[in-house]
Amino acid sequence: MVTSAHEGPHRIFQERPEILNPVFGMLGISLPAKVSVDAVTTDVTETRPLERRVDTVLRIGLSDGEDFLLAIESQSKEVAGKEASWAYYVAYLQAKYRLPVLLLVVCQDRSTAKWATGPFDCGTRGWTAQRTYPLVAGPENLPVITDVRSAAKNLALAVLSALAHARSPHCEAILRAVTAALRETWETDPDTADYFFDLLEINLGDTPAGEKPREIMSFVSYFPGRGTVRETAYLEGKAAGEVKGILRVLEVRGVPISDEARERITACTDLDLLGDWLERAGAVESAEELFTETEV
């Protein structure tokens, strides 16, 4: 089962492809300055009884050479038999798209990264029929970014650094640099800041870093009045429920609701105010009376 925490590390690559160049540079692979990145179907199932799905597959279009496919897997621990799936992914994708394939495995701890490096052989009696060499991004080859300027200059790489070093003593310092950079980003690009804060919160939840004080990672400390993406969604959903309840009570009681009153009720997101209106909805004779004693 693919969970939100499992999806996080590779979603950075698909939704924020600017991270590809510095990561490939650290892995010893050179890319031109201009590349195109397109998502490719992740389903590599050939028969119904056997379902296989790669986390992310990207087609990398190079300005100075042949395109290639990048298959990305997120691996939190060693899993017996996973290497066979990786070999299958590479062979299947190459056969289907007739393009070279690279497999990148993103890990959060050194032992998993060491295992994922391979190589993994398929063969018998001294003969190797196939050998799989994954590229591995993890604590050993992703930098520890604790400088705010460095984090702001390459935000996606800094976030990936926090994820890769989530179980190291450096994580708190990385998070402080990343969140300071995100605070600056929020002023000009709130959507990007929201995305990365949400990504960190999801993926650090079950690691030692997830136990750090909320002021390191939360919007609440840095941006008064704002919550995390999920917190905001929760509050919006709760407000919508209150609005529905107010209108339902008025309708059941046969209280007339003017267009202006309906618009004012549905536009309100103040949970305290909505709670007050819901209580009053059981006694008022018109929708406008809801607002009489709540005017400030």
Q: Which residue has the tokens 């030692």?
A: 208
pLDDT over 90 (residue 228): no
Confidence of residue 156 (pLDDT cuts 50, 70, 90): confident
- Asked whether 25 and 50 are in contact (CB, 8 A), the reply is no
| Per-residue pLDDT band at 145 (split at 50, 70, 90) | very high
DSSP-derived secondary structure letter, 141: T
* HSE-up of residue 39 (Cα within 13 Å, Cβ side): 13
Question: What integer pLDDT is reported at residue 176 of this predicted model?
Answer: 86
Tell the CATH topology of 4-137.
Trna Endonuclease; Chain: A, domain 1 (3.40.1350)
Helix, strand, or coil (residue 70): strand
Task: Please tell me which residue, 15 or 150, carries the higher pLDDT value.
Answer: 150
d(CA 22, CA 279): 57
Distances (CA, A) of 277 to 138, 202, 247: 53, 35, 10
User: What letter does residue 55 receive in the DSSP assignment?
Assistant: S
Strand partners, 101: 69
Rounded Cα distance, 282 and 83, in Å: 64
pLDDT in the model for residue 39:
61
Query: Torsion angle of alpha carbons 157, 136, 175, 12, nearest 10°?
Result: 50
The Cα–Cα gap between 219 and 28 comes to 36
Residue 159 burial (10 A CB sphere; 0-12, 13-18, 19+)? buried
Structural domain boundaries of the chain?
4-137, 148-227, 232-292
How far apart CA 187 and CA 194 sit, in angstroms, is 11
- Identify which of 211, 264, 273 has the alpha carbon closest to the alpha carbon of residue 242: 273
Residue 17 has pLDDT above 80, yes or no: no
Percent of the chain at pLDDT exceeding 90: 14
| 3-class SS shares of the chain: helix, strand, coil, % to 5 | 50, 15, 35
Amino acid at 85: S
Report residue 91 as tokens.
């062979």
Kindly tell me the sign of the dihedral angle through the C-alpha atoms of 8, 12, 14, 16.
Answer: positive
Q: What is the pLDDT of residues 106-118, one digit of tens each?
A: 888 889 999 999 9
Angle 164-170-172 from CA coordinates, rounded to 5°: 95
Q: Is residue 60 a contact partner of residue 68, using CB atoms and an 8 Å limit?
A: yes
Q: What does the longest C-alpha to C-alpha distance in the chain come to?
A: 89
Residue 236: the pLDDT is 65
Q: How far apart are CA 33 and CA 50, in angstroms?
A: 39
> pTM higher than 0.85 for the full model?
no
Per-residue tokens: 222 = 């840095």
